[in-house]
Amino acid sequence: MADHSLKKEQDADAKFKPVHEVLQANLLDQLLLTLQVKQAHWNIVGPRFISIHEYLDSVYETMQEQTDQSAERIRQLRAFPNGSADLVAENETFVPMPNGPISDSDVVDLITHRLELAIDAFRDRLATIEDVDTVTADIIHGQIEDLEIHAWKMRSMK
């Protein structure tokens, strides 16, 4: 009996390995985007400072929620998320944010571009697991929708 249960668990783990890999890749992008949004939030300058500065708080909150959601989903699938700073830096998928003051127009362009890159990456990864795990697919669909809303609002600030 014990051998049968172990075999069943190993089969489930193997089935969900690609799902874990997608969630892990999304998690790294979410962590990086969270940091970059905060960098822009702190360093924005210009006449639209207040409105964009405050809106970036909303984007940041969304990214924090998504990061936690992805990491917890990885745990639900009996794997362990890795959000270490070293791994995030090693897998950096976006160009680093500039240091120092960033004009309000540049912040809008930089964050919009990063949101769109994340949306594209999430969609590409989602396609690889959509039929494997519909629960995770639904979570990622919701995350993409949130990112699309933020990208639309940021584009509207141009």
User: For residue 12, what pLDDT is reported?
Assistant: 55
User: For residue 25, what pLDDT is reported?
Assistant: 97
Residue in 17, 36, 26, 136 with CA at minimum distance from that of residue 91: 26
Residue 9's pLDDT band (boundaries 50, 70, 90)? low
User: For residue 14, what pLDDT is reported?
Assistant: 81
Share of the chain above pLDDT 70, in %: 92
Q: What is the mean pLDDT of the chain?
A: 93
Q: Is the pLDDT of residue 17 over 70?
A: yes
User: For residue 92, what pLDDT is reported?
Assistant: 82
The domains located in the chain, with CATH, are: 13-155 (1.20.1260.10)
User: For residue 13, what pLDDT is reported?
Assistant: 75
The pTM assigned to this predicted structure is: 0.91
Residue in 120, 139, 119 with CA at minimum distance from that of residue 129: 139
User: For residue 48, what pLDDT is reported?
Assistant: 97
Q: Mean of the pLDDT values across residues 75-93?
A: 92
User: For residue 94, what pLDDT is reported?
Assistant: 85
Tell me the per-residue pLDDT of 94-137, one tens digit each, with 9 for 90 and over.
888 999 999 999 999 999 999 999 999 999 999 999 999 999 99
